[in-house]
Amino acid sequence: MARKTVNDDPLASVTLAVGQEELLLDRAVREVVAAARAADADTDVRELTPEQLQPGTLAELTSPSLFAERKVVVVRNAQDLSADTVKDVKAYLAAPAEEITLVLLHAGGAKGKGLLDAARKAGAREVACPKMTKPADRLAFVRQEFRVLGRSATPEACQALVDAIGSDLRELASAVSQLVADVEGTIDEAVVGRYYTGRAEASSFTVADRAVEGRAAEALEALRWSLATGVAPVLITSALAQGVRAIGKLSSARGGRPADLARELGMPPWKIDRVRQQMRGWTPDGVALALRAVAEADAGVKGGGDDPEYALEKAVVTIARAARSRGRT
């Protein structure tokens, strides 16, 4: 969930949205635009990439207007701005224009840190939009979505939804909205099952589970069904990567109770038990081989190959074979 600073006025002169979670970044922009248009329905909204924001462009966009119109200027990937443009932005931060809201979307990290520090020093309203890489974060996100929409859902229902949909926050948010619109009363696991059982069976995580268990035929069947039902290839490579990395993490961890390992490895206890069952047959060499296969598939589905489906099939077969590497000669 996006976290905000004490200055929570969306019409603040400058809003700084920091992180790499696209859904949260887009929501931060929409909140500012909605507030601006509530104040002035004719608000002019300009969204710019680093290539579009050349030296002098910001001064032109924020110069006084004859009609004193309200503007929202959104700069995406602000960490990639050129040095000369960063100077323009820093100068603007020192004396922001009235009736104009500047929204800087910044990935965080070391790149472009000078601009990040300058915006914070200038008192920008900040919205944190961190990438949700942990299952616990996505589970908390789903719970918060239900709360924001004024509905209650059982913990089992929230977990079932995350298991069925996977890691895409846009799809999780959409699923919550659909359930809230269609179902009266408390949303429980049975309701989620009725809506998303088919999706769960064809999800990217099912593909990954069957692959790391060494069940190549079932993994390929789930893969083809997932692709046929519109699951994005990048979600499948992400799930495969998570599955193999979980095997590697747990195999190299010290023994202990699921709860202790969960804290050490950043996994929920239920997943510790599942991965323990899946890791039989794996060797360190098998994990390394599987990770290389995932990296190659990821490059293939992101434009590095001619056939993303073949790249995924190759990765699934390689991972399934690696899962049976122990004891092979």
How many angstroms separate the first and last alpha carbons of the chain?
49
Coil/strand/helix, residue 16: strand
Return the DSSP state at 175.
H
Whether 166 has a pLDDT exceeding 90, the answer reads no
Percent of the chain's residues with pLDDT above 90: 53
pLDDT at 231: 77
Q: Work out the pLDDT band at 256, boundaries 50, 70, 90.
A: low
Is residue 177 within 8 A of residue 142, CB to CB? The reply is no
Distances (CA, A) of 78 to 19, 49, 294: 11, 8, 30
Structure tokens at 244: 């193999």
pLDDT at 2: 53
Least confident segment among 221-225, 245-249, 266-270 = 266-270
Contacts 24+ apart (CB under 8 A), 52-61: 53/81, 53/85, 54/82, 54/85, 55/82, 55/84, 55/85, 55/87, 55/88, 56/88, 57/85, 57/88, 58/85, 58/88, 58/89, 58/92, 59/88, 59/92
Percent of the chain's residues with pLDDT above 70: 87
pLDDT at 139: 92
Return the DSSP state at 183.
-
Q: What angle (nearest 5°) sits at the alpha carbon of residue 129, between those of residues 154 and 248?
A: 75
pLDDT at 8: 81
Q: pTM here? A: 0.59
Q: Give the pLDDT confidence of 287-309 residue by residue, as tens digits.
A: 999 999 999 999 988 876 678 89
Arithmetic mean of pLDDT, 167-196: 87
pLDDT at 279: 85
Coil/strand/helix, residue 6: coil
Q: Give the pLDDT confidence of 188-246 residue by residue, as tens digits.
A: 988 888 877 656 555 788 899 899 999 999 999 889 888 877 777 888 898 899 889 88
Whether 255 has a pLDDT exceeding 80, the answer reads no
Whether 127 has a pLDDT exceeding 60, the answer reads yes
Least confident segment among 86-90, 246-250, 286-290 = 246-250
Range among 145-149, 157-161, 302-306 rated most confident: 145-149
Q: Could you give the CA distance from residue 314 to residue 296 in angstroms, rounded to a whole number? A: 9
How far, in whole angstroms, is CA 68 from its chain's centroid?
A: 38
Q: Could you give the CA distance from residue 295 to residue 138 in angstroms, rounded to a whole number? A: 24
Coil/strand/helix, residue 329: coil
Q: Could you give the CA distance from residue 158 to residue 140 in angstroms, rounded to a whole number? A: 9
Question: Which comes out higher in pLDDT, residue 272 or 217?
Answer: 217
Structure tokens at 296: 């190659």
Whether 147 has a pLDDT exceeding 90, the answer reads yes
pLDDT at 171: 84
Arithmetic mean of pLDDT, 278-289: 90
Alpha helices in the chain (DSSP H): 22-39, 57-61, 83-94, 113-121, 135-148, 155-165, 169-182, 189-201, 204-212, 216-228, 233-252, 258-265, 269-278, 284-299, 308-322
Q: Work out the pLDDT band at 128, boundaries 50, 70, 90.
A: very high
pLDDT at 6: 46
